[in-house]
Each structure stands twice: as C-alpha cells, then as structure tokens.
Structure 1
Amino acid sequence: MARFTDRTVIVTGAAQGIGEEYAKALAAEGAKVIVADLNTERGTDVAKQITAGGGTAIFREVDVSEPESAAAVAEFTLGEFGRIDHLVNNAAIYGAMKLDLLLSVPWDYYKKFMGVNLDGALNMTRAVWKPMRKQGGGSIVNQSSTAAWTYSGFYGLAKAGINSLTQQLAHELGSANIRINAIAPGPIDTEATRSIVPEQFVDEIVKGAAIKRLGTPQDLVGACLYLLSDDAKWVTGQVLNVDGGTVFRA
C-alpha cells in the first residue's frame, strides 16, 4: 500500500519507541517524513535508517513546548517539501517522568511537563493548520493514553487534556477540511515503560486486560495510519483505544 505517496508528515517524538515506528511506517507507505525530536543523535539515526531503506526522511530538532520551535519545524518542512499534509503529535515526557503527586510535584516541573505533554500538541497544531488549510486540508493524530481514564496523576491529567483538545480542535478545524483524532494506547512494551513502571505493576495490568500481553509499538501503527489516511475521511474528534481491552468506556 502507498496511501501517503507525495504527502508530507511531521512526527514529533520520533527518535525512538512509538514515534519511531510511526515515522518508519509512514515512510514505507510513501510519505516524506520529518523526524522531529529533541534527541538529535537518535533522531538523525532514525532518519538515516528510513533513507537507507528507500524512504524519504529528514531529522529536525524541536521542543514542542515552545511555540517558536513548533513554528520553526513547520517552516522547515515547507521549505524542504513545500507542503504539510499530516501531523502526529507523539512527543511526550514519559520515560524520564518524575513520579510524584499532583499535590506535591514541584511547580516548575509540572509546568514543563504539561508544556510538552499537553500544550505541545496545541503548539504544533497551531503551527501547521494554516498551511494545511491553504492546500485544501490535512489530518492530525494526537497521542493520548488509557491513563486518561485511570488514576495516573499529572500524566493522566495531561492525557485527559489531549482528549478534550482533540474534540475541541476537531470543531475549530473542520471547516478547513482538517481532521484531528487521537489514539489512546494501553500499556506498551517500550524502553520508556520498562524504565518507570515496576514489573509487578505491569503484570497486574496484563492480568486485567482482555488480551493477556503488553502491546507493542507496532500494534499502534495501523490505527495511526488509518486515522491519518483518506480511509478515515469522515472521522474526526475521536479517541480510539488501542489497548488490548484494558479499559472499557461507554
């Protein structure tokens, strides 16, 4: 399949883990990919791997919590490829996340965390929506989490905010033919998850799921490609759980 031939996509947080898989899958279906991340070394390596495999990718450093940095990556993309068709807002503080309570987490850390994990999606969307509108439309996928429906402290708060942001922006962007949806993964077997979630907690989560295993980044790829593609041309404002049946919601 080549649903994204001649299309350009920015994937934030694409230097590793889930974002890396999204970037590689989009390139495999013909997209020109901007691998956007703060990690220059790993992000550059991902772009090189895509190029070596016959795809098109360029690394660009970005701090999504800074509106100027978000605007700069959008301008860079337009300069390189002349258009922006799709955006994946995947960047997040997760693997190195401070474990603390909402009542006691240092305020400066909380503000930076929310600046990346919630405001970052809005900053990037604000940076790309006008070019998308000018060319006739586009699509955006935000990365949420099933943490939005469980006790997960400020991480869950940020993801609940992503869900609401997705729904609100769907209405603001609809008249510009720009669709925006979100994916809510359950527990995913990544380096980041292994670094912060104790093994016994992971075991309990798996026991409570309908499908008795952790997810993988590859499990999320199909949902991301579908929501970005024309196959979902009448789908917007939705939050799609990809979680092995971990969370049931009406």
Structure 2
Amino acid sequence: MSEWQGRTAVVTGGGRGFGKAFGTALAMEGAHAVLVDIDGSEAEAAAEEIRAAGGWALGLAGDVTDEARMAEVMARAADAQGGIDLLINNAGLHSDEYGQPITKLGLAKMRRLFDVNVMGVVCCTLAAAPHMQGRAGASIVNISSSAAHMGGSPYGDSKLAVAGLTITFARELGPLGIRVNAISPGLMLTETIRNELPPATMARVKAMQLIDGDGAEEDIVEAMLYLASRRARFVTGEVLRVTGGMAAGV
C-alpha cells in the first residue's frame, strides 16, 4: 500500500501546471489532494479530472496572500483526515514579465511579485502548520527556481527569498515534527513555458545545461515525491536543484 493512502496534501496553484501535476500524482498514490487556486473554476476542473481517473480531489478557490481565506482553506482541507500531511507552496507569478529589470517593472509590480511569491509562502505555511503538527511524516515542499541561483532578475530575487524561507521554516517547524524543503526547477518545457518564454531565452538557458536534453514536468513531480516521502525523513532545510546542471554551483 502506498504511504500516501488516506493522507492529505494541499497544493497551491493547483489548477494547472506543476500544481495540477503534483495533485494528480499524489491522488493516484492514494492521497486526498486539495487543489487551491486563485481561479476556483480551474482548481475544480483539475480536481474533477482527478476524480474521473479514480482519485480523491477537492478544488478550492483562494488567493495565497489572503490570510483569512488561507486559514479557511487549511481548516477545510484538514477536515478530510483530521489534519494536513503535506503542503506544497507552488502558487506564484512566473511569466517572462517578471524577469524584466526592476527599473522597468516598477514598484507596484514588484510589490505584487513579492506579495504572491514570498508572503504567499509565509501565509500558507502559517495557516497549515497547526494542522500538520504531530502528524507522522508531515512536510512542506516550496517551489523556488533556478533563477534564484543565477541572480539578475526580480523573479529570481523573489525565489531566492523562498529558498531562504525554506531554511527558516525548517528551523522553526522542525520541533513540531514538520520537515521543510524546496525544489528549484530549471527550464521545464511545460505548455505554459512554451507559450510564454521567447525562443531565444529558451535557447540561451539550454546552452547552460550540463545535460543535453529537455526538462519535463515529470522531473519536478519525481523530486516532489521524494522530498515529501519517508525516504527523505532525514532531509530538511534543503533546496534540490533540478536544472540539468544549469544552476550547478557551491
């Protein structure tokens, strides 16, 4: 029997992309997948797909920057099995727009970027932690980015903050029995990336990889399944780079 049988996983940004893939993989392993997205119709559509495939899923609308709503969402998620076993902080702003220089992006968009990508992680973690405390194997997986290790963009700076929060929360939540780790994806040729990222940018990034190949959504799903599993019971405060070697460094 899968270790995920009957356990509850909350995935923010769960309506599409990595979030939907995370929820689907966990539900197929027997988890109760709660997909949270600012677009409630997308979250419910993704959940319906999972249910149609034989898994358990619930789609909920919610803005990760809304403290009151996230408290409601986590309480609702905890109802299924008396608590939350896994939180994946995946929601974030990540289009090419947020790779622009700060002088072009402007203050209002900078505030929005950090509110979602950074404070959203804080908001959801604080809301979920009371429902995770004391749950055997409880863990949090944050989604950072290879951009965090490269420097030079507001988006990367926001994801560098996520990497920092991963260590801070690992320290603070460790005594409660909650592990906290992060994944830094490199260039993953998802549908969203193909639609949003200019071909020249994709070519430049691929030229920096040490592995000659295309990253895929499944690579990030597998990394998540490892970090959230019992196999990683002694792993916390870490950022796993899944970049084909693009962001290799010490």
Q: TM-score, normalised by structure 1?
A: 0.94
What is the match of residue 238 of structure 2? 238
Alpha-carbon shift at residue 131 of structure 1 (Å):
1.6
The answer to whether structure 1 residue 196 and structure 2 residue 201 are counterparts is no
How much does 1:8 deviate? 0.1
Cα deviation code 1:50-71 (max 9, x no counterpart)? 1111110000111011212221
- Matched residue of 2:211: which SS? coil
CA distance 1:94–1:192, change in 2 (3 Å): farther
SS in 1 for 2:103: coil
1:185 to 1:99, Cα distance in 2 relative to 1, 3 A: closer
Indicate the residue corresponding to 2:92 in structure 1: 92
Match of 1:38 in 2: 38
Counterpart amino acid of residue 66 in structure 1:
D
Amino acid across the alignment from 1:203? A
Q: How does 1:1-250 map to 2 (within 5 A)?
A: 2-95=2-95, 97-135=97-135, 138-250=138-250
- 2-structure distance, mates of 1:97, 1:49: 30
Take 2:167 and 2:179, find their aligned partners in 1: how far apart are those partners?
10
Q: Structure 1: where are the runs of 5+ without partners?
A: none
Normalised by the length of structure 2, the TM-score is 0.94
**Residue type of the alignment partner of 1:156:** G
Aligned-residue CA RMSD (Å): 1.6
* Greater mean alpha carbon deviation, residues 186-195 or residues 63-72: 186-195
Verify the 8 A CA contact 1:5 1:31 in the aligned structure 2. yes
Equivalents in 1 of 2:205, 2:32: separation in Å?
37
Residue segments in structure 2 that go unaligned for 5+ positions in a row: none
Q: Are the aligned partners of 1:85 and 1:138 in contact in 2 as well (CA < 8 Å)?
A: yes
Moved more, 7-16 or 63-72: 63-72
Asked whether the 8 Å contact 2:9–2:87 carries over to 1, the reply is yes
**Which is worse superposed, 62-71 or 5-14?**
62-71
92-101 vs 9-18, which deviates more?
Answer: 92-101
Report the AA paired with residue 204 of structure 1: R
Amino acid in structure 2 at the alignment position of 1:32:
H
CA distance 1:152–1:213, shift in 2 (3 Å) = farther
Aligned residues with identical type, % of pairs: 34
Residues 103-131 of structure 1 deviation map (CA, whole Å, 9 limit, x = unaligned): 34222221111111111111110001112
Comparing 47-56 with 90-99, greater Cα deviation is found at 90-99
CA contact (8 A) 2:215 2:243 kept: yes
Q: Which piece of structure 1 moves more, 105-114 or 240-249? A: 105-114
Q: How many residue pairs end up in the alignment?
A: 250
Q: Which amino acid aligns with 1:212?
A: D
